[in-house]
Amino acid sequence: MKRIDVLDGQGWVVLEDSYGDDLAIVNAARQSFSKRSATMGPAESGLIHFLMRNRHGTPFEMVDFRFNIKAPIFVAREWQRHRIASYNEMSGRYVELEEEFYLPPLAAVREASGKPGAYQFETMDGETAALVRERMRRDYEGSWITYQSLLELGVAKEVARMVLPVGIMTQFTFKTNLRSLFNFISLRSAPNALLEIREYAGAIEELARDVAPIAFKAFESSNRVAP
Amino acid sequence: MKRIDVLDGQGWVVLEDSYGDDLAIVNAARQSFSKRSATMGPAESGLIHFLMRNRHGTPFEMVDFRFNIKAPIFVAREWQRHRIASYNEMSGRYVELEEEFYLPPLAAVREASGKPGAYQFETMDGETAALVRERMRRDYEGSWITYQSLLELGVAKEVARMVLPVGIMTQFTFKTNLRSLFNFISLRSAPNALLEIREYAGAIEELARDVAPIAFKAFESSNRVAP
Amino acid sequence: MKRIDVLDGQGWVVLEDSYGDDLAIVNAARQSFSKRSATMGPAESGLIHFLMRNRHGTPFEMVDFRFNIKAPIFVAREWQRHRIASYNEMSGRYVELEEEFYLPPLAAVREASGKPGAYQFETMDGETAALVRERMRRDYEGSWITYQSLLELGVAKEVARMVLPVGIMTQFTFKTNLRSLFNFISLRSAPNALLEIREYAGAIEELARDVAPIAFKAFESSNRVAP
Amino acid sequence: MKRIDVLDGQGWVVLEDSYGDDLAIVNAARQSFSKRSATMGPAESGLIHFLMRNRHGTPFEMVDFRFNIKAPIFVAREWQRHRIASYNEMSGRYVELEEEFYLPPLAAVREASGKPGAYQFETMDGETAALVRERMRRDYEGSWITYQSLLELGVAKEVARMVLPVGIMTQFTFKTNLRSLFNFISLRSAPNALLEIREYAGAIEELARDVAPIAFKAFESSNRVAP
């Protein structure tokens, strides 16, 4: 199991397991022609590029991945809008959450200009950034104290957690096929995607690329548009 | 547009639009037999019960609903795990959120006993419940003040919102077909479902039942298991 | 209900019902900004183009269509590979099929050159085309006679129909949302798509365009690539 | 790669690959509780039964299978109505089909009584069954001759194949997760399912059971209703 830490070590992406590879994509496509390849060669590589270019997406569904993700809730919320995938997530109804809140590194404390959908972001000056972080930290701490005090009063975990911020860390299993993963990477590594989810998309890409390297080359050649 | 308020008036379910009805279900099923009905009668009603009983689910997909929902984020999180549906939600990246936080009514301040997956819930005594509410209210208030102060420092909305709790209200469009809706209602109105989402499931059911009353009767007769 | 005949009058596309329109797309997208439009204007039109260009696909899911289709089985087979849709089809297990077989018009009797995936098609000369049609007609007739004779022997319809050709006509309900429909149209009206399904894609497009004309303009402007 | 022949040796099911197992189901479910199991034991087995009984379906999505199927077109047509799956199929547009037609064994030549949806089937007497088979064989042969003669005239494969019967054999890749597979098996091995597809469902079940034996035990205990 390979793991990549993200968000300054506060989150991670683990590739737990996968099956299928470039050759499985080729042979799924060759199914249409009643043919099969035993190994990858120039013709097989060319076929994968052809499939990507012409948006023949189904053969890319033949590769499948299971990841374990640790991320803030506000990242998990965007992530789980991707419907062609399977998820299982830690539940604040069943477990007491841990005191782990995402605090953006100084360089990630940013201001926005421009219109929604076309924001420009810039890192804030160091002093303001430090102040922002300090206020966030203190607010997180306050919410944590409230959460603990509510649990001590005996209230159900599912009620107490209502005060916890969307910056708290959660953990979930994410299983999906390569076609859907290309769509995830395409949208979530784009320049206008949320900074934090872009780091996850980058880690996902790095781990998945090893499984199907030619498919990722074809993805690059097609301007990173999912087939 | 019909609207039902839930959570003590703090949230709502609005049925914005729908199409299809009991007759559309019947005629989709009759497609298999190259037949068509012009109106609902005993035979049509019997057919709907037959479909439900025998888990012929696809004809129920012919009825489609678009709802607008106002709910706390922790409810929206459970909701959006339902993948056979379309969603569009308010985004804390683009808009400044409003100061609206879910505060459970006294009767909903509960304690849990038993094992996860089989909890028993009981309302807490009035004094403790009042104390819980007061602590939640104060914590919400503190987070709101932090949020506002971060925005005043000029930080991007998408950063500032990280401190906001999962008890804050959000709003989203929810479009789905009746088959998927039966699954939602079946799971989210069950006794072990989260109290708050059960209220939404009840409101959804009330609004949807008017659109396809016979289908809902058949759903009842089949122990509320989705086809 | 609007109907367009295709394949020389041998098949059809009927738009039975739909809901949602350009404005529903706009308001689903504006959900992100907590705004709403009452009517379509230049800003609304611009937003739809923006969504299409930037592949924000979910708002297009808010428009939904129910069609009735009459088509040869070999067309239905390609069609039903589109998974984000609901189908109900006439069944040869339950009904005796009718003696309706697709016979390509002279202009559609074609020969192929080039490689699979990049065929060039050309209409055959009139004499050969007539011969092709005549042989097809006779073969269809033979299969029909066998089918009838098997039914007369008392064999179950589901066995007798095994001899019927994929050129026989079937009928099915097809319900899907506009985003999925754009994908269908994009792939099935492309130059390398099967000639017969291209006619259906054209009819679908003509009927759907009336429901959401601005969305279709944006689709054209984006090179007919589904969002 | 394990293979099971079906339909009297005329078709097959091959399990090409899979990933995930009973333990993957358990650990996906335990994700909710932030726990993990290293091996299967009584508690793990009990959890799988609990999940099945209470229709907690998502953990079963963590097991995934890729099959290769050889089946008559009329079977493939029913099969591919299952939408939570990935398919790639041999195409009569790109390859010349082979002379392989499904001929039901004598015991499978049946007559039906009763109403659609509740048919009773009975094997026909030997003489009639032989006659049925002989007529089918001759009709298949005639269609094959027509197909060949059309190809010889130079007509495109996609036109010539229109005369081929739905009893001709096709081949396709079928990839899906265990939750969706339970639904397939549940519906397609039921007494009122098509005789031919029931054989495939049986072979699928036999091959998949080895991958996740406890999950299949739980499926049996829950009356073979998919979670």
Separation of alpha carbons A199 and C31, rounded Å:
27
pLDDT tens-digit series, residues B175-188? 999 999 999 999 99
Three-state secondary structure string covering chain D: CEEEEEHHHCEEEEEEEEECCHHHHHHHHHHHHCCCCCCCCHHHHHHHHHHHHCCCCHHHHHCEEEEEEEEEHHHHHHHCCCCCCEEEECCCCCCCCCCCECCCCHHHCEEEECCCCCCEEEECCHHHHHHHHHHHHHHHHHHHHHHHHHHHCCCCHHHHHHHCECCEEEEEEEEEEHHHHHHHHHHHCCCCCCHHHHHHHHHHHHHHHCCCHHHHHHHHHCCCCCC
pLDDT of residue B35: 84
**Partner residues linked to C177 by β-bridges:** C64
Q: Identify the pLDDT of residue C66.
A: 98
CB-CB contact of C118 with C124 (8 Å): no
Q: Which residues of D touch B48 (CB under 8 A)?
A: none
More confident residue, C32 or C42: C42
| Nearest Cβ partner for A163 among B77, B95, B140 | B140
Would the pLDDT of C33 be above 90? no
User: Distance (Å, rounded) from C-alpha C47 to C-alpha C60?
Assistant: 12
Chain A interface with C: residues with Cβ < 8 Å? 32-33, 50, 54-55, 58, 81, 116-117, 186-187, 225
Q: How many folded domains does chain A comprise?
A: 2
Closest CA to D203 of D91, D101, D71, D87: D71
* Residue A33, pLDDT score: 82
**Look-up of token digits 């301040």:** B109
pTM of the model: 0.97
C119 and C82 in a single domain? The answer is: no
Contacts of B59 in chain C (CB under 8 A): 88
Contact C21, C64 (CB under 8 A): no
* CA atoms of A150 and A129, how far apart (whole Å): 32
* Alpha-carbon gap, residue A154 to A139, rounded angstroms: 23
- Same domain, residue pair C149 and C195: no
Can you give the pLDDT at residue B12?
98
Nearest by CB to B32, from C24, C64, C88: name it: C88
Subunits close to A (at least 3 CB pairs below 8 A): B, C, D
Task: State the best of B110, B128, B166 to mutate against chain A, taking most chain A CBs within 10 Å.
Answer: B166
Report CB contact under 8 Å: C117, A55: no
List the D64-72 sheet strands across, edge first.
Answer: D2-6, D11-19, D64-72, D169-177, D86-89
| Domain identity same for B29 and B126 | no
**Quick one: D67 and D122 in the same domain?**
no
Q: Does residue A101 form part of some domain?
A: no
**Cβ of C55 and A187 within 8 Å?**
yes
B64/C61 CB distance under 8 A: no
Question: Within a 10 A sphere around the Cβ of A200, how many other Cβ atoms?
Answer: 30
Shortest CA gap D111–chain A (Å)? 35
* Cα→Cα distances A91→A95, B86, B140, C170, Å: 6, 24, 21, 48
The reply to whether residue D187 touches residue B55, judged by beta carbons under 8 angstroms, is yes
Task: Note the pLDDT tens digit of each residue in A19-68.
Answer: 999 999 999 999 888 789 999 999 999 999 999 999 999 999 999 999 99
D41 occurs within a structural domain: yes
Query: Is A145 exposed, middle or buried, given 0-12, 13-18 or 19+ CB atoms closer than 10 A?
Result: middle
Cβ–Cβ gap B20/C17 under 8 Å: yes
Confidence of residue B33 (pLDDT cuts 50, 70, 90): confident
User: Is position B131 within any domain?
Assistant: yes
Please report residues of A whose CB lies closer than 8 A to that of B111. 154-156
* B156-to-A166, A198, B92, B150, B223 alpha-carbon distances in Å: 16, 17, 10, 8, 49
Same domain membership, residue D51 and residue D64: yes
CA distance B37 to B16: 28
Q: Collect all residues of chain D within an 8 Å Cβ-Cβ radius of residue B33.
A: 116
Tell me whether residue C180 is exposed, middle or buried, using C-beta atoms within 10 angstroms of its C-beta: 0 to 12, 13 to 18, 19 or more.
buried
Using the 3D structure, point to which of C163, C180, C200 is the last residue of a domain.
C163
Specify if C79 maps to a domain: yes
The type of residue at C92 is: G
State the chains in contact with B (3 or more Cβ–Cβ pairs under 8 Å).
Answer: A, C, D
Average pLDDT, chain C: 96
- Measured between alpha carbons, how far is A202 from A205 in angstroms, rounded to an integer? 5
Q: B29 and B129: one domain? A: no
Cα nearest neighbour of D50 on chain B: B117
C226 falls within a domain: no
**Distance (Å) from the C-alpha of residue B56 to the closest C-alpha of chain C?**
11
Do both C157 and C177 map to the same domain? Answer: no
Task: Name the pLDDT band for B34 (thresholds 50, 70, 90).
Answer: confident
Both tokens of B223, joined, read 């122990």
Active-site hit among A188, A198, A209, A224: A188
- Give yes or no for a contact between B140 and A163, defined as CB atoms under 8 angstroms apart: yes
Q: How far is C73 from chain D (nearest CA, A)?
A: 9
Distance CA A152, CA A160 (A): 10
Residue in D111, D146, D164 nearest the CB of C154: D111
Tell whether B204 is covered by a domain.
yes
What angle separates helix C178-188 from helix C195-209, to the nearest 10 degrees?
140
Contacts of D211 (CB under 8 A, 6+ apart): D18, D20, D21, D63, D65
User: What does the pLDDT read at residue A46?
Assistant: 97
Residue in chain C lying closest to A186 (CA): C55
Contact residues, chain C, for A55 at CB < 8 Å: 187
Taking the CA atoms of residue D66, residue D71, residue D76 and residue D78 in that order, the dihedral angle to the nearest 10 degrees is -100
Residue A221 to chain D, least CA–CA distance (Å): 24
Looking at residue B52, the DSSP 8-state letter turns out to be: H
A116-163 pLDDT tens trace: 778 899 999 999 999 999 999 999 999 999 999 999 999 999 999 999
3-state per-residue secondary structure call for chain A: CEEEEEHHHCEEEEEEEEECCHHHHHHHHHHHHCCCCCCCCHHHHHHHHHHHHCCCCHHHHHCEEEEEEEEEHHHHHHHCCCCCCEEEECCCCCCCCCCCECCCCHHHCEEEECCCCCCEEEECCHHHHHHHHHHHHHHHHHHHHHHHHHHHCCCCHHHHHHHCECCEEEEEEEEEEHHHHHHHHHHHCCCCCCHHHHHHHHHHHHHHHCCCHHHHHHHHHCCCCCC
Quick: pLDDT tens for C140-172. Answer: 999 999 999 999 999 999 999 999 999 999 999
Q: Which residues of A touch B167 (CB under 8 A)?
A: 162-163
Among residues of chain B, what percentage have pLDDT more than 70? 100
The whole-angstrom distance between A224's CA and the closest CA on chain B is: 24
Provide the 8-state DSSP code for B55: T
Would the pLDDT of D206 be above 90?
Answer: yes
Percentage of chain B beyond pLDDT 90 is: 94
Do both D184 and D213 map to the same domain? Answer: yes
8 Å CB contact of C166 and D167: no
Residue type, A46: G
The pLDDT score that the predictor gives to residue A105 is 97
The span from the CA of B55 to the CA of B66, in Å, is 24
The C-side interface with B (CB below 8 A) comprises: 17-20, 24, 27-29, 31-34, 58-59, 61-62, 64, 66, 86-91, 94-95, 171-173, 175, 177
Give A31's contacts in chain D (Cβ within 8 Å). Answer: 88-90, 171-173
What is the nearest CA distance from B25 to chain C, expressed in angstroms? Answer: 10
CB pairs under 8 A between B and D: 12
DSSP element (H, E) containing B74:
helix B73-79
Interatomic CA distance for residues B95 and A35, integer angstroms: 54
**From A55, A116, A186, residue closest to C33, measured CB to CB:** A116
CB-CB neighbors (< 8 A) of C169 in chain B: none
What is the per-residue pLDDT across D5-41, written as a single tens digit (0 to 9) for each? 999 999 999 999 999 999 999 999 998 887 899 999 9
Q: How far apart are CA B6 and CA B82, in angstroms?
A: 20
Does A100 fall in a domain? Answer: no
For residues C71-99, b (16+ Cβ closer than 10 Å) or e, as one string? bbbbbbbbbbebbbbbbbbbbbbbeebee
The β-bridge relationship of strands D110-113 and D120-123 is: antiparallel
Measured in angstroms, the CA of A148 and the nearest CA of chain C are apart by 33
Indicate the average pLDDT of chain D.
96
Chain D: residue nearest B192 by CA? D54
Interchain contact, D135 vs C149, CB within 8 Å: yes
Closest residue of C to A58, CA-based? C81
CA D125 to chain centre: 28
* Nearest CB to C175 within list B62, B86, B87: B62
Q: Choose among A81, A143, A153: nearest Cβ to B143.
A: A143
Q: How many Cβ contacts (< 8 angstroms) between chains C and D?
A: 147
pLDDT at A115 over 90: no
> What are the chain C neighbours of D77 within 8 Å (beta carbons)?
73, 77, 80
Residues of B in contact with C19 (CB under 8 A): 17-19, 64, 66
CA A126, CA A199: separation in Å to the nearest integer? 22
CB contacts of B135 in chain A (<8 Å) are 146, 149-150
Query: Between the CA atoms of B37, B40, B43 and B46, what dihedral angle is there, to the nearest 10 degrees?
Result: 120
Q: How many CB atoms lie within 10 A of CB C43?
A: 9
Structure tokens at C92: 């040869």
Amino acid, res. C100: E
Q: Measured in whole angstroms, how far is the alpha carbon of residue A120 from the centre of its chain?
A: 22
The number of angstroms, rounded, from the C-alpha of B31 to the middle of its chain's C-alpha atoms is 32
Q: D53 versus C1: which is more confidently predicted?
A: D53
- The whole domain housing B84 covers 2-90+168-221
- Residue C3: what pLDDT? 97
Q: Do C187 and A117 touch (CB under 8 A)?
A: no
Q: Which of the four pLDDT bands, split at 50, 70 and 90, describes residue B1?
A: confident
Give the integer Cα–Cα distance in Å for B68 and B174: 6
Q: Give DSSP secondary structure letters for B76-123.
A: HHHHTT--SSEEEE--TTTSPPPS-B----GGG-EEEES-TTS-EEEE
With CB atoms and an 8 Å threshold, state whether B24 touches C62: no
Catalytic site residues of C? 188
CA atoms within 13 A on the CB side of B14: 10
> For position B189, what pLDDT does the model report?
97
Confirm whether A99 is domain-assigned. Answer: no
Give me B83's structure tokens: 């993948």
Model pLDDT for residues B95-146, shown as the tens digit of each residue: 999 999 999 999 999 999 988 778 899 999 999 999 999 999 999 999 999 9
CA D210 to CA D216: how far, in whole Å? 9
Question: Across the interface, do A88 and D171 touch by the CB < 8 Å criterion?
Answer: no
Query: Which chains pack against C, by 3+ Cβ pairs within 8 A?
Result: A, B, D
Q: How far apart are CA D13 and CA D171, in angstroms?
A: 10
Helix (H, G, I), strand (E, B) or coil at B62: helix
Beta-carbon count within 10 A of B78 CB: 18
- H or E stretch at B211: none
Distance in Å, alpha carbon of B113 to nearest chain A alpha carbon? 9
Q: Which of A163, A185, A201 is the last residue of a domain?
A: A163
User: D117: pLDDT confidence band, cut at 50, 70 and 90?
Assistant: confident
Residue B32 has a pLDDT of: 82
Question: Chain B interface residues facing chain D, Cβ-Cβ under 8 Å?
Answer: 32-33, 50, 54-55, 58, 81, 116-117, 187
pLDDT category of residue C128 using cuts at 50, 70 and 90? very high
Q: What is the mean pLDDT of residues A3-15?
A: 98
Residues D81 and D131 in one domain: no
Indicate whether D159 and D48 sit together in one domain: no
Once rounded to an integer, what is the mean pLDDT over residues C43-54? 96
3-state SS string over chain C?
CEEEEEHHHCEEEEEEEEECCHHHHHHHHHHHHCCCCCCCCHHHHHHHHHHHHCCCCHHHHHCEEEEEEEEEHHHHHHHCCCCCCEEEECCCCCCCCCCCECCCCHHHCEEEECCCCCCEEEECCHHHHHHHHHHHHHHHHHHHHHHHHHHHCCCCHHHHHHHCECCEEEEEEEEEEHHHHHHHHHHHCCCCCCHHHHHHHHHHHHHHHCCCHHHHHHHHHCCCCCC
Give yes or no: residues C79 and C52 share one domain: yes
End position of a domain, from candidates B115, B139, B163: B163
* Mean pLDDT, range B190-198, rounded to an integer: 96
Q: What's the token pair of residue B103?
A: 């505060």
DSSP B142-156: HHHHHHHHHHHTT--
Same domain, C6 and C25: yes
Domain of A184, CATH number, reads 3.30.1360.170
